[in-house]
Chains A and B, each alone.
Chain A
């Protein structure tokens, strides 16, 4: 069964600090992996998307890494800001004829405190 597991479930950090969120998946065959940021009560907003051949991708203070061999991804947030407080969701797309059937992780709820 295709699964995406994220850790930690929740995280509290101080403003200005860095943090790393983890995503492990069992989806196979694999097409791409996306990280989304979701503010409470709002729709997910895409941060990064990576195919199996990409190891790292950055978007401002967000840097995602991917190890397709171990089926692990991480999202590193640098110099956190209060506005980074949100849920971060790892989403994996299988490479099959079903097309675009995304598998969602449970998310990491990040709180950045002043």
Chain B
């Protein structure tokens, strides 16, 4: 298995809703990442997990809450989002944060719309 799987593919939520995005990989990668991508812009790094521990939080608002239950799973919990949070959310994984050559793989993304 050489894929990063993200669910759901599409999500529409109200500003008072609580929802979660899920990301899964079975490549044995020990680093996992969340990115946010607006239309016609490059992805922007949000969070980095290394060996199931949060190692980087790029000053992301607390309405986004990441969780790494185990080495294969990464969640992004969403609460009280704003319409400007609508974007494509990408998950990625790599062998580890030092293994810069091998295996940096993106998921297919979750298209989030906040209404």
Query: What is the interface of chain A, defined by CB distance below 8 A to chain B?
Result: 31-32, 34, 36, 41-46, 49, 51, 87, 89, 93, 95, 98-102, 104-107, 109
Contact = CB atoms under 8 A, between A and B. Distances in A.
Contact of A109 (B40, B99, B101, B104): B40
Contact of A43 (B40, B48, B101, B106): B106
Contacts of B99: 100
Interface of B: 4, 6, 31, 33, 40-43, 45, 48, 50, 88, 90, 94, 96-101, 104-109, 111
B45 A101 contact: yes
B113 to A, nearest CB: 12
Contacts of A34: 104
Contacts of B4: 43
A41 B105 contact: no
B90 A31 contact: no
A100 B94 contact: yes
Contacts of A104: 42-43
B90 A102 contact: no
